[in-house]
Amino acid sequence: MEAVLEKPATGTAYSAIVQKQRDYFWTHATKPAAFRKKQLNKLKAAFAKHESSLLAALKADLNKPAQEAFTTEIGITVAEIEHYLRHLDDWMEPERVSTPLFFQPGTSMIMPEPYGVTLIIAPWNYPVKNLFGPLLGAIAAGNTAVVKPSEISPNCSKAIADLIKDTFDPEYIVSIEGGVPETTELLKERFDYLLFTGGTEIGRIVYQAAAKHLTPVTLELGGKSPCIVDTNINMDVAAKRLVWGKFQNAGQTCIAPDYIYVNNKIKDKFLGRVKHYIGEFFGDADKPSDDLGRIISDRHFQRVSKMLTGDILVGGVTDASQRYIAPTIIDNVTNDHPAMQEEIFGPVMPVLGYDSFDEVINHINAGERPLAMYLFSNDSKLKKRLMNETSSGAICVNETMVHAGQPNLPFGGVGNSGIGAYNGKLGFDTFSHQKPVMVRSFLGDVAQKYPPYTSGKLSFIKMASKFLLR
């Protein structure tokens, strides 16, 4: 069977794919550390072999500059592979835990074991990183995997499918290309774990489909991630980092700073520096820059273009033929502005002024919990308030988006922005069932636990229960 289905498959064909993977999993071939490391090394070699085709696909679908594409998609994934290879032996070791006196003599441990056949559904905005990032966890944990690239980035979907086909046997890892019909059919199958990255509404559909089989899930979704700019900052560094994070991938990033709260005492001056760095990074808004990505589709272009209204300080220029939207700052927005109604996912920066940090906290807590939250400030009290008085998938202080590349931190949301997390050790844990194991000796058998029950036995159990968890 081919590793990539060239035509839409029937449910029967998908059932056969999943069954072959399940049969292969139960040969236990995927479980030894040597096998897992071999597959990770094969994937690392595949990235070197297919780098040019991946870069070309990212350019064709999203106009990603080579440096941005390598840094945020390919280079970071290869670095993660090396991280997994360095730590996998330790992660696979069962964790010994203490055994309370009541259960002695005996030993207890938590043993990570693979779930089995996993499904990874990837998005279009970071089509390489957000497919292979979760896949690394599935491989390291000893699972098989069906991966589904997004049809919205078709060149990347094809390049990924070619890499998978060239590297792995389909009973181990297989890529399924296609759109909604293919995904719908896949979701009818019973998988042992499912990870989806995408929008919240589609996430609900995926969650409902998984529930029919009681399949555990991780949902990486999105939301409006706020960025707060205090007065106590290095203004130039803050402005550069904000522009870099907001307009990377033309703003089509789930953890991009979505809207900006700036203290009114410095707002005009700060926005002046933001405007300066937009010009320094991307040039004249009337001339589309090769260093700025393009909107993925005509539909998304039209959606984001409708947000270009109000007090536009810079940008607002569009070119439908290229799906180009210039980096745009919209000042003095209100909550009813079009850019405040949904996650922007485009190069549009709505700005609100604030006088009191309380009003910012209250506004954030009145909405859904975001995937990320940003604060530029050297004020330790404000940092603590944001950490303790709000809820979000992550907080990043004096920087944007880089927390997602830190392999020792989980990446995930909360509430509407997601369920569960992955990244590094958390990726391994996500795709592993933490199986408790207790081994007891035949010595020290307690006669009082067995029927027939008596008042004397009950008295002994009541006394012994005081020592149960010591």
Q: Are strands 106-114 and 324-325 parallel, antiparallel or unpaired?
A: unpaired
Catalytic residue among 156, 227, 254, 396: 254
Q: What is the DSSP letter of 251?
A: G
Query: Secondary structure of 356-370 in the HEC alphabet?
Result: CHHHHHHHHHHCCCC
Non-local (6+) Cβ contacts of 115 within 8 A are 141, 143, 192, 193, 216, 431, 432, 433
The residue behind tokens 């005081």 is 466
Find out whether 41 and 194 touch, Cβ atoms under 8 Å.
no
Q: What does the alpha-carbon distance between residue 444 and residue 246 come to, in Å, rounded to a whole number?
A: 64
The answer to whether residue 254 is catalytic is yes
**Is residue 451 classed as helix, strand or coil in its secondary structure?**
coil
Q: What does the alpha-carbon distance between residue 182 and residue 147 come to, in Å, rounded to a whole number?
A: 12
Q: What is the DSSP letter of 4?
A: B
Per-residue tokens: 122: 């990837």
Burial class (CB in 10 A: 0-12, 13-18, 19+), 205: middle
Strands, sheet with 311-314, edge to edge from the N-terminal-most edge strand:
311-314, 328-331, 348-354, 259-263, 226-229, 373-376, 395-397
Catalytic residue among 220, 227, 343, 368: 220
The answer to whether residue 220 is catalytic is yes
Which amino acid makes up residue 108? S
Write out the catalytic residue numbers: 220, 254
